[in-house]
Chain A
């Protein structure tokens, strides 16, 4: 398992909890591991919990956008959840709105949305 995050699988959904103060390599590894898990476990939904992240800089922001894009290509609907207010404001200031990613307030909000679409 990657050092950057824990990946749990619940039904057809992969839950990814990213840890704080991850290194760039960790999060690149996570990208690889997650794409492989989506395929091997035939996941239809991915929830990435970033509540632990005190900061998201342009590098991590770009990887988050990529994670969403990759999952979408692999037919798994992806939600980024738990972003802190200060992080959201900072990302907007950095001009990174993660336009291609779905977001939800929390893990349970994302799961509810996935269930409503029959994906969880």
Chain B
């Protein structure tokens, strides 16, 4: 996944549980500043919460970066972890795929909440999730 030009508008290290709240807040603030609609914002921040929790719980922590995209105005989030990776992505994106703390609706749910969803993962090589949403 290519990094867009320039610096991210925000970067949150995901090491502890509190960082999930920080990640949600950072994205929420940026969406407010960009003038996103309430529904768009709720959907996107919820999706961010799911993938950030995934990185923390299964990836042993990671980094979340937020970008503001122009023409048309969109928000983009990149979440990477250096964890064990996901062996079967297809399965992980299926509702009901069970994990420690979610109901197995996290990843598949996040995908439904955003306009663009890309995931890259290989066993032992960590996981990167990219999500883009219009405002």
Contacts and interface: CB of A to CB of B under 8 A. Distances in A.
A85 B24 CA distance: 19
B11 interface: no
Interface in A61-113: 61-62, 84-87, 89-90, 93-96
- Interface SS majority for chain B: helix
Given A89-B39, A95-B109, A55 B18 contact: no
Contacts of B18: 23
A58 interface: yes
Interface residues of B, number: 26
Which range contains the number of A residues in contact with the other chain? 20 to 34
Contacts of B102: 58-59, 62
A55 B50 contact: no
B17 interface: yes
A57 interface: yes
Interface of A: 21-25, 54-59, 61-62, 84-87, 89-90, 93-96
Interface of B: 17-18, 20-21, 24-25, 28, 38-39, 41-43, 45-46, 49-50, 53, 95, 101-103, 105-106, 109, 112-113
